[in-house]
Amino acid sequence: MRILKLLLWPASYAALAILSGAWHPALAQEHSAVVIFYETGFLAEGSAAPSQAQMENILPRARFATADKLAGELGDPATRLLVLPYGSAFPEESWAAIYGFVQGGGNLLVLGGRPFTRAEYRDAAGWHLREYAVRFTRPLMIDQYQTTPGSEGLSFQTNPEVTLQPPAFAWKQAFSPVIRLSAADLYNRGGAAGSIDAQVDTLAWGVKSARRMAAPLLQIDHYRNIFSGGRWIFLAAEVGPEFYGNAQNGALIGALAQQAMQGSEEFTARPAVPLYLPGEPVELNVLWHPAKPAAAPAIRISTYAEGEESNAEVTTVTLNPAENILLPAPKSKGLHMIKAELLDGDKVHAIYHSAYWIRDEEFLRHGARLTTNRDYFEQDGKPLAVAGTTYMASDVQRLYFEHPNVYVWNQDLALIHDANLNMIRAGWWTGWDKFCDENGQPYERTLRTVEAYLMTAHKYGLPVQFNFFAFLPEVLGGANPYLDPEAVRRQQTLVSTVVARFHDLPTWRGI
């Protein structure tokens, strides 16, 4: 299973138009697809709630529904978005209708708090909040929320990877969800990876001393299996009453509602392999799965050597799902970036960044040498006190060899380096059938992925402990990982081939 505690990870959004007052008329026709839960006397928790008049101004054609009417409104095929404006609180009696709506791919916008942690019930005396619980978040694949700092003392930073750039706003505290992004294991073994069923994207951060401390706005796109097609946007923070009295924030909420109504959208543009030899053309695999069927869009591809975006080579093509995009071989070695932009007419609808290496033997084999003595690691003969972390990838977790993205690795390892960690542990946790053939011989793509990973780590001076078999050796078609001679032989073939290729590198150790 893939599990993510959200603070850092980016992806793509539609553009935000900063409006004053009500929605732009071109968007108003879709407001009737929005249902806002609103009930007189309902208690907000974890954040201030807007008044009905404020929500009417922000979404003028939305339909308001009390708890008694909510099930009927959510059962209407025209309903595309449910807005819950009471922070952590929601009507307990409407839970079955809400869950059925999102399970069927319905879209969701929650304003404030820790969504679905405070159920609210009513009796003759009125509405009452139940205690904090994860009873209702667990079916939504959310394990818990962790409290992060308020905006005071933090700088507001938008996500440069996305087109949506919200205006700065204040919050008292934010809440990062620990969320499960897979509904099922891909392999029947301990530590298996899960399918990529959902993606969490950060819209804005609170930053202090170049470190991301809070993520008050986030988006969850559900690609497949449970909740397929749905997009959830959480203002996962405590905001004060003044938040809704600000016209700029009202425009932001309107834009978030429009964004949520579009439904999930999966868009990636990755090189076929993460490392190429000098002179080889680059093959780009593009994946685009919108929630709503649409005509094939145009894609603008910009490629450039790291740090030379002003010299990018740009090409625009119409997406053909049956064909990969071929890019000319770059003229220099090293790290090269790819920026893919999904175009809606002349506007950028979504962005995806990837990268690849051009083989540079001199770079890879130069640097401080990692060795071991009887008791500890040494670097160039000096003791190395290890302060490290296990790292795979922030976008696809344990599937980082099946879906490698050097751009993500480069960003993540820069953060690890800047946090003063000095070693990483990586390796294969699952899916060995994707790395080698039936005899245990690794594919060339696998070896190039190892090389690209090691080059990225070497760029930041991070030695790598590489685990070939995490938890338990893979049988590779045999019967027993320890006692079957055929399984052991295949394991040896896999390990020895990788070691033969990289044994003389200064900064890695295979385990």
Q: Give 393's Cβ-side CA count (13 Å radius).
A: 24
Contact 92, 46 (CB under 8 A): no
pLDDT above 60: residue 185: yes
Strand order in the sheet with 377-379: 370-372, 377-379, 382-383
Amino acid at 446: T
Give phi and psi for 357, each to the nearest 5: -105, 145
Name which residue leads in pLDDT, 76 or 6: 76
Contact 372, 465 (CB under 8 A): no
Q: How, if at all, do strands 464-467 and 198-208 pair?
A: unpaired
Q: What is the DSSP letter of 229?
A: T
Q: What's the CATH number for 361-510?
A: 3.20.20.80
Give phi and psi for 12, each to the nearest 5: -120, 150
Give phi and psi for 67, each to the nearest 5: -60, -35
Integer Cα distance of 133 and 115 in angstroms = 11
Mean pLDDT over residues 257-272, rounded? 95
pLDDT above 60: residue 20: no
Integer Cα distance of 363 and 459 in angstroms = 9
Query: Which of these ranges, 288-292, 413-417, 490-494, has the smallest mean pLDDT?
Result: 288-292
pLDDT given for residue 103 in this prediction = 97
Integer Cα distance of 119 and 136 in angstroms = 8
Contact 21, 57 (CB under 8 A): yes
Q: How, if at all, do strands 231-235 and 107-111 pair?
A: parallel
Integer Cα distance of 333 and 363 in angstroms = 10
Instruction: Quickly state the pLDDT bin for 13 (edges 50, 70, 90).
Output: very low
pLDDT above 90: residue 355: yes
Instruction: Quickly state the pLDDT bin for 3 (edges 50, 70, 90).
Output: very low
From the number of C-beta atoms within 10 Å of its C-beta (0-12, 13-18, 19+), residue 194 rates as buried
pLDDT above 50: residue 15: no
Instruction: Quickly state the pLDDT bin for 511 (edges 50, 70, 90).
Output: low
Strand residue runs (E) in 198-281 = 198-208, 211-222, 231-235, 237-238, 265-271, 275-276
pLDDT given for residue 488 in this prediction = 96
Q: Rg of the chain's alpha carbons, rounded to an integer?
A: 25
Q: Of the ranges 170-174, 376-380, 385-389, which is most confident?
A: 170-174
Mean pLDDT over residues 178-206, rounded? 85
Same fold, 267-358 and 361-510: no
Give the residue from 355, 162, 182 showing the smallest Cα distance to 265.
162
Q: What is the DSSP letter of 431?
A: -
pLDDT given for residue 372 in this prediction = 87
Mean pLDDT over residues 274-291, rounded? 95
To the nearest whole number, what is the mean pLDDT of the chain? Answer: 90
> What does the domain layout of the chain look like in residue ranges?
3-263, 267-358, 361-510
What does 24-53 look like in DSSP terms, one character per residue?
Answer: -HHHHTTGGGEEEE--TTPPPBSS----HH
Q: Domain spanning 267-358: which superfamily? A: Immunoglobulins (2.60.40.10)
Give the residue from 266, 222, 267, 269 showing the smallest Cα distance to 108.
222
pLDDT given for residue 206 in this prediction = 97
Give the residue from 300, 302, 287, 303 showing the smallest Cα distance to 343.
300
pLDDT given for residue 195 in this prediction = 85
Please state, for a pLDDT cut of 90, what percent of the chain lies above it: 76
Helix/strand/coil for 446: helix
104-136 pLDDT, tens per residue?
999 999 999 999 999 999 999 999 999 999 999
Mean pLDDT over residues 163-169, rounded? 90
Give the residue from 267, 251, 230 showing the smallest Cα distance to 167.
251
pLDDT above 70: residue 168: yes
Mean pLDDT over residues 496-511, rounded? 84
Contact 436, 443 (CB under 8 A): yes
pLDDT given for residue 126 in this prediction = 96
Q: How, if at all, do strands 231-235 and 265-271 pair?
A: unpaired
pLDDT given for residue 27 in this prediction = 43
State the pTM of this model.
0.89
Helix/strand/coil for 133: coil
Helix/strand/coil for 507: coil
Contact 188, 39 (CB under 8 A): no
Helix/strand/coil for 191: coil
Integer Cα distance of 99 and 454 in angstroms = 44
All residues at 6 or more sequence positions from 337 whose CB lies less than 8 Å from its CB, including other chains: 303, 304, 305, 306, 309, 353, 354, 355, 407
36-71 pLDDT, tens per residue?
999 999 999 999 999 999 999 999 999 999 999 999
CATH architecture entry for 3-263:
3-Layer(aba) Sandwich (3.40)
Integer Cα distance of 265 and 284 in angstroms = 19
Integer Cα distance of 161 and 414 in angstroms = 16
Mean pLDDT over residues 486-490, rounded? 96
Helix/strand/coil for 277: coil
Mean pLDDT over residues 427-436, rounded? 91
pLDDT given for residue 510 in this prediction = 59
pLDDT given for residue 316 in this prediction = 95
3-state SS, 43-104, equals CCECCCCCCHHHHHHHCCCCEEECHHHHHHHHCCCCCCEEEECCECEEEHHHHHHHHHHHHC
Helix/strand/coil for 285: strand
pLDDT above 70: residue 452: yes
Integer Cα distance of 160 and 103 in angstroms = 31
Q: How, if at all, do strands 126-129 and 265-271 pair?
A: unpaired
pLDDT given for residue 464 in this prediction = 93
Give phi and psi for 148, each to the nearest 5: -125, 170
Contact 202, 217 (CB under 8 A): yes
